[in-house]
Every structure is written in C-alpha cells, then in structure tokens.
A and B are shown apart, each in its own frame.
Chain A
Amino acid sequence: MHPASSVIVFTVLSGFGFGCLFWLAIGLPDLMGLDAFVYYAIAFAVSVVGLVSSTFHLGNPQRALRAFTQWQTSWLSREACLSVIALVVMGLHAILVIFFGTNLQWLGILGAFFCLATVLATAMIYVQLKTVPRWNHMGNLVMFLLLSLTGGAIFTGSDWVVHLLIATALLQVGVWVYGDGRFAASGSTIESATQLGSLGQVRLFEAPHSGSNYLLKEMVHIIGRKHAVKLRFIALLLMSVVPALLAMMMPLSVVVLVVIAGIHIAGVMASRWLFFAEAEHVVGLYYDKR
C-alpha cells in the first residue's frame, strides 16, 4: 500500500495526542492551573494537527463534514465522530481543571474512554480490510492502542514508561513476524483470483495497460520494500530500544522526556511507514505483483 505522508502523520500524531489526553484524563499526573494548561494545550495541538492532516489526502476535502454521517457501518466515520466527542469531553475536562481547579473523575473516565475509542477506530480502518491480509488481525489493533498509551506515558513522564516501551518492542516484533505469513495464510492466490487454477499454473501474460494506474500506485507499492529489513531495525531502535534505555538511565526531567518523545515519534513514523509499504493488497494478484 502507498505510504502517503498525510496518512502517516495523521495516524501517528492523533495516536500520540489522544494517548496524552488519556493520561491527563485519568489524572496521571494530577495537574492544576498553568501546568495543566501547558500539558492540555500540547496534547490538544498534537491531536488536532494529526486529525487535520488526515484531510490532506482527500480528493474533495470541502465535503469532509459528510464523513460524520455513516457511523453505523464505517470505521472511518466512527473515527471522525469519536475524535470530536473525545475532544469535546476532554475540552470540558480541561476547562474545569485549568480554570476552576476541579477534576471531575467521572468526566475524566468518560474522556479517557473516548480517547482510546478514537485510537481503536483509527486502527480498525486498517484492521477491518480483508483485502490487506497483513493488516487484517487484532495484533495491529493492540499495537495502535499500545503505541498511543506509550506516547502519552512519555508525555506525562509516567512510571510505566519503561514497561510500555519494552511492550511495544515485543509486540512490534510479533506483529512483523506474524504479518509476514498473513498473505499466504489468506488463501488468495493468482489461481483464486482468476479461478483458472484447474487448467494449470497461471501467470500474467500481458497487463491490461502498459503504463501505471490508480490501482498500481495506491495498492501495489513495491518500491519501498527494498530496505524493509534495515528500516525495521531503525524503527525498533528509535521507537522502543533507545527511548527505553534513556528512560532507564536518566532521571525523567522535562528535557529528557522531550528528547525521548522526539526519538520515539520518529521511530513510530518509521514503523507506520513500513505498516503501509509492506502491506500487500490482493488486487496485486491480477497484476502478478505483490
């Protein structure tokens, strides 16, 4: 699948932002006044930048409001609705904490729920797709949620940072290894795609068009996989290993946390780039390409 930068920025930043809001919602750390203002402002800014960047890959973004209507069937629509609910609930929570010094626990729990639900819906946009076997399993769903929680834990300097970072490394390796076998396990082959397998071995003789097209550009993105193994190492180092080592060796001052967050986000971006670039769509079978 084509790794569009707007979609990578969208999923990484909105995941990070809603993770930050999650930890603030459950009162870890328990902030008041100006401190709270700074934390909430950053968390909201990152979430909103992520959400807005998702509109950059739309063909007709001026109609984006229509995307709030089909929540009954569409995970993309659910993601849109849940993100707005989460922002509104957390906005209310933030106003009460910052300006009135009141932390309503039930409101926080409600906000935390909607933050996680938003990240879950984001993941489901990809996990639901049977056509992309590498995405189509719950491991990716847990990965999105875990990365969101880890990002928020770094942001708030949580005691759980090291544990969560180690968990991301383990799960990431598991998702990669499991994902590698998913296409073969899906049962889709050039023979199932053409239903010609009973006659013999099938290969593409002549493509339907000599140039490229939307399908090949969007769903048969092969070029990016050349350095996939090296990129996996880089992603793992930046996303989990280096931040975990830093968090274990240094006191978690603001400066150290900012450095860790920067390295971690760069690593998540690399991982998310691979999430797209390595994903193979079954339509490639009709082109004898994956």
Chain B
Amino acid sequence: MTQLPPPSEVKLGLVIDLDTCVGCHACVVSCKGWNTENYGVPLSDMDAYGSNPVGTFLNRIHSFDVQPETGPAQTVHFPKSCLHCEDAPCVTVCPTGASYKRAEDGIVLVNEDHCIGCGLCAWACPYGAREMDAAAGVMKKCTLCVDRIYNENLEEVDRVPACVRTCPSGARHFGDLGDPNSEVSLLVAARDGVDLMPEQGTKPVNKYLPPRKKDQLVQPAGTGCGGHMEEVAAEPKGFLAWLDKSLEAL
C-alpha cells in the first residue's frame, strides 16, 4: 500500500558525519557489492568497459567546496543515499503499491515484483535517492540493508548496513532515531545534526552532522612557530645585507 503508515516508534536510519568522512567511496563500493548479490535484482552497469559506462548505485559521494568570507576554502565530502523520510513523497505517488514504508521500523522499500518502472517516485524524491535500473526496468533504492540488519546468520558485528560496516573513518552510524536515548540520537543532539532540504517537508530520518569548526593556531606575541624557534629576521644582515644592497643598486 502506498498510504504511509502512522509514524513508527522505531525509526531506523543513518547518521552521517561530514566532519569525519574522507571521501574514499568505500561505502559506495560495499553498497554496490552487497546489493548486487542480495535483496532484489542486481545493480546493473551498462557499457561497463566501454567509452560511456553508466550504472545503478544506491549511495553516492559528492564533494563540496565551502568558501567562507575570509580564509581558505574547506572541502566537505558528502555521502548521499535514501533518507527514509517520515513523510516520504516517493511512497504516496507510486501507482502500484510497489513503493512502501514499513510500519515496524520506517524503512522505505520497493517491491520489485510490483514495480512498473514509471519513474514517478524518483521524480518525487528531492534527494536523488532512487535510480531506475536500466537492465531490470525497476526502481532501486537503499534498503538500509534490511537483509543484513535482521540477519541472524551473520555475526552480530555485521548486522549493520554494508556502508556503515565498511566505513574506515567511522563517519557512518546506524541506529534507531526514534529512540531519543539511542547512541545515534545522542550523537545527533550533541553535534546539532540537521535535515537536508527541510523546506521540502519530507521529514528525513537520516541526519547529517555538520563539520566541526576549524581550530585556529594561536601564537604567543613576539614568538614565531609557537615559541619553539627564533623569528626569521625581517631585515637581512651581513653578506645577505651586502648582496641585497648591491642588487638594489644595479
């Protein structure tokens, strides 16, 4: 059914730390790997070894350059996948009922056997979280690795989404954002986590932790390099002074 269920108590989702993400794309690769071999049809590539390769991915890393009014610019790596929105517009527009939000944990999924591949859900998503698979003609999206997180055949440590398990910098966190005392909720509260495009009214479950403020190197007055070395002389002396004067005179 494409009617949204009443807001669930459990809201499983991701918290993404823009301060720690190093932009290595390991989560992109692990996501593609897991989701090609497990839930639903594989994530296909078209012309994979040709001149114009195109493929389906559920997770992509954009890199932004942020220029403050003064000082150098800052690079922010920005992973983006389905935000499992509470008011998911992709669910209600679906004409077949293939797109749905689970009442028990809030995960937004696609029943690929019912999907006609009309693409309207991808149009309704502001975040570009859905991609039509060119080989299968059905809509693909992040499943929050629903086939891992409840999978008792896996070691407990592996019962998190593939992207979270693989992240080498600890920039991705998985948990219940419906529980205010969960680790992820506490993290969001401590770091002032934000919603992407709040003006779209989608109420995303996934949160983003903005980059921390850069610290400034404070130098004690009159000392160079934090007081460890003598200051470099502004005026040359001795041979250099003679050379400077002679070259000026030429």
Residues of B69-125 whose CB lies within 8 A of A: 69, 73-76, 78, 80, 89, 91-98, 114-120, 122-125
A–B complex contacts, Cβ < 8 Å, 20 sampled: A59-B118, A66-B95, A69-B95, A70-B96, A70-B97, A73-B3, A74-B2, A74-B93, A129-B89, A131-B89, A131-B125, A194-B78, A195-B195, A200-B67, A203-B65, A203-B67, A206-B62, A214-B131, A218-B132, A286-B78
Q: Which residues of B contact A204 (CB under 8 A)?
A: 62-65
Instruction: Flag if B200 contacts A131 (CB, 8 Å).
Output: yes
Chain B 141-163 interface mask (CB, 8 Å, partner A; 1/0): 00000000000000000000000
Instruction: Flag if B97 contacts A58 (CB, 8 Å).
Output: no
Q: Which residues of B contact A69 (CB under 8 A)?
A: 95-97
Instruction: Flag if B210 contacts A202 (CB, 8 Å).
Output: no
Taking the closest CB of chain B, its distance from the CB of A254, in whole angstroms, is 38
A225 within 8 A of partner (CB) = no
Instruction: Flag if B61 contacts A208 (CB, 8 Å).
Output: yes
Q: Give the residue of B55, B117, B122 whose beta carbon is less than 8 angstroms from that of A58.
A: B117
* Chain B interface, DSSP helix/strand/loop, else mixed: loop
Identify the B interface with A (CB < 8 A).
1-3, 18, 28, 52-57, 60-69, 73-76, 78, 80, 89, 91-98, 114-120, 122-128, 131-134, 136-139, 194-201, 208, 210-211
Chain A 209-230 interface mask (CB, 8 Å, partner B; 1/0): 1011111001100000000000
Q: Given contacts A76-B93, A208-B62, is CB(A66)–CB(B197) below 8 Å? A: no
Instruction: Flag if B96 contacts A63 (CB, 8 Å).
Output: yes
- Interchain CA distance A89-B196 in the complex, whole Å: 46
Taking the closest CB of chain A, its distance from the CB of B216, in whole angstroms, is 15
Identify the A interface with B (CB < 8 A).
1, 57-61, 63-64, 66-67, 69-70, 72-77, 80, 125, 128-132, 186-188, 190, 192-196, 198-209, 211-215, 218-219, 281-283, 286-287
